[in-house]
Amino acid sequence: MARKDITMNEAEIQEFLSSGAKVLQVATLGKDGAPHLAPMWFVMDDGRVVFRSFTKSQKIVNLMRDPRITVLAEAGDAYADLQGVMIKGIAKLVTDPAYVLKIYGGLAARYPMVGDAPVDLDDVALEAAFGRFAPKNTAVIVEPTKVTSWDHTKLGGAY
């Protein structure tokens, strides 16, 4: 089969990023030009991948200097089950604590950040859990310049 036969369409990409993939591999460029790679939890906001990190973290320091970013989300254990999306883009850095807190809320609803399971937090619980961290964090919105995707389940077991 041709490469185009396993490419995801936009709706499939959004669905995969919203519910199929759980860990985002984030690549930024260090001062020496070498890649810095880190796994991150993420959410989707207005169709864009968004994650947060402490403002003093290496990935944020790198993005302040050079906003180019590549992220990869992949799922599947067997070759026939592999699905993934790689996004090359520009990082939009947001330091507004209210927005960062919103991202914390999305993360808590998707990952077990408060207890053993994901939870939807009301504004009071969200502020209590993460309010003190929000001013020390930066949210990163990945603005895509190129998106590459693959879905080996479309191969139907063939190579």
pLDDT digits (tens, 9 = 90+) for 11-68: 999 999 999 899 999 999 999 999 999 999 999 999 999 999 999 999 999 999 999 9
Task: Report residue 7: phi and psi, to 5°.
Answer: -75, 140
pLDDT band of residue 114 (cuts 50, 70, 90) is: confident
First to last CA, the chain: 7
The 10 Å CB-count burial string (b at 16+, else e) for 78-91 is eeeebbbbbbebeb
Are residues 142 and 71 in contact, defined by beta-carbon separation less than 8 angstroms?
A: yes
Are residues 30 and 56 in contact, defined by beta-carbon separation less than 8 angstroms?
A: no
Query: pTM of the full predicted structure?
Result: 0.94
What is the reported pLDDT for 1? Answer: 45
- List of domains in the chain: 3-155 (2.30.110.10)
Average pLDDT rounded to a whole number, residues 68-81: 95
Are residues 101 and 130 in contact, defined by beta-carbon separation less than 8 angstroms?
A: yes
DSSP 106-156: HHHHHS-SSSSS--PPPHHHHHHHHTTTGGGEEEEEEEEEEEEEEEGGGGT
Cα 148 from Cα 21, distance rounded (Å): 15
